Structure 1
Amino acid sequence: MSNVKTLGVLMIVKNEEKHLDKCLSSVSGWVDEIVIVDSGSTDGTLAIAEKYQAIIHQNVEWPGFGKQRQLAQSYMSSDWVLVLDADEFVSPELKVSIQEKVETSSLDSCYQINRLTKAFGKYIHHSGWSPDWIIRLYPREKAAYNDALVHEKVVVAEGLKTKKIEAGVLYHDTYENLHHYINKTTGYLKAWTDQREGKKKSGLGTALLHAIACFMKMYFIKRGFLDGRHGFILAWLGMHSTFVKYIDLWLREQAELNK
């Protein structure tokens, strides 16, 4: 019986034709399977996925990020899971590091990868965005995502160690422009509020305090000022988004009370 461990890529996508080719080309030829769950793409996403011999499933009734990732993992058969988003790609150095972990680790650890994010055309090295250590490589049978609608996390089995892959980064090309930022974050903000409605209280004062704290943390404590004008813009946008989600929560509470 072979002791060679297999590696699979897990992805959930929708209308990602602009980024998907770059993402999949960064793992092409050295992973054993690519499993994609699509939530209803209407562009060329699926054609790109087919070009890389991805195993494609569709689930258009969106259950939230956590459960959609769980569904994708249920279709996988590889020993190791590497989770990627369509707007991310693996650096050559990270590729070597991942291959080394898959070959030498005895499925007793999960690994955090350092993600470096580009926003509005510039890689962000501070602002609380970098370093950005996230669990993205783990044994398929010993870890999986939780049920969160948004900001989902990997739940690690008891006894499993969490380690860092120090060499290489996962590049992340996020917001291209302000319109892209607004469109992308709107869904996240709604999911955040949906998840907390009826469980968490809010108010105008709460919203203001959290918003101001977000700006102070990003721009001063996390040294966003070192990212120049981009750092200020991201801190301001973060403040605005924080205010919106807490006010949305409060408005929903008021609507329920006034029924």
Structure 2
Amino acid sequence: MKIFAIMLVKNEADIVGYVLKEAEKWADKIFIIDNGSTDGTWEIIKSMKNEIITPWKQDFGSFRRGMRADVFNEFRHLSTKEDWWCYALDADEFYIENPRDFLQRIPKRF
């Protein structure tokens, strides 16, 4: 099982680096769309680009819920039915428990 995360950011320069470092511990890929940051968030994200972190694009339009769907539709070809998508990896939150460990404890029938 691979874990793919989608992060939507806007003006999160104070925390985004820490959150990405924590998410790298459990995510196989993190796809990021920036909704018009003006505080250096996008530059931080681009500087962290690697095999896990993918700064996808900036979108300066109004926020819309479908932005995450845009990311999913662009990259879903990389996943299989056994993989898990974290649709809302918030740029100012982190998981206390490793999601990979949690997901492995869920019975296969679910």
TM-score by length of 1: 0.34
Per the alignment, do residues 60 and 26 of structure 1 end up closer, same or farther by CA in structure 2, a change over 3 Å counting? Answer: same
Runs of 4+ with >6 A deviation: none
The match for 1:27 is 23
Aligned to 2:84: 80
Distance of 1:7 and 1:19 partners within structure 2: 22
Structural mapping, 1:53-202, within 5 Å? 53=50, 54-56=53-55, 57-64=57-64, 66-76=65-75, 77-78=78-79, 79-82=83-86, 83-91=88-96, 94-95=97-98, 98-103=99-104, 105=106, 109=110
Q: 1:47 to 1:100 in 2, by over 3 A?
A: same
Alpha-carbon distance between aligned partners in 1 of 2:92 and 2:4, rounded to the nearest angstrom:
18
The alignment of Structure 1 onto Structure 2 pairs a total of residues equal to 100
- Candidates 3, 6, 12, aligned match of 1:7: 3
- The letter of the residue matching 2:100 is Q
1:107, CA displacement in angstroms?
7.1
Q: Which has the higher strand share?
A: 1
Q: Deviations over 1:26-47 (max 9, x none)?
A: 1123311010111122222123
Q: Is the contact made by 2:4 and 2:28 (CA closer than 8 Å) also made in structure 1?
A: yes
Q: What is the CA deviation profile of residues 133-164 of structure 1, one whole-angstrom value per residue up to 9, with x for unaligned ones? A: xxxxxxxxxxxxxxxxxxxxxxxxxxxxxxxx
Asked whether the equivalents of residues 16 and 92 of structure 2 are also in contact (C-alpha less than 8 Å), the reply is yes
Name the one with the larger helix percent: 1
TM-score (ref. length: structure 2): 0.73
Letter in 2 for 1:69: R
AA in 2 matched with 1:84: L
Q: Which residue of 2 aligns with 1:132?
A: none
Aligned residues with identical type, % of pairs: 29
Structure 2 residue aligned with 1:18: 14
Contact kept, 8 Å, 1:38 with 1:59, in 2: the verdict is: yes
Distance 1:108 1:15 in 2: 40
Q: Which structure exhibits the higher relative contact order, with contacts defined as CA atoms closer than 8 Å and separated by 6 or more residues?
A: 2
Partner of 1:41: 37
Q: Which 5+ residue runs of structure 1 have no aligned equivalent?
A: 110-259
Distance in 2 (alpha carbons) for counterparts of 1:58 and 1:30: 25
Q: Which runs of 5+ in 2 are unaligned?
A: none
The RMSD of aligned alpha carbons is 2.3
Say which one has the larger Rg. 1
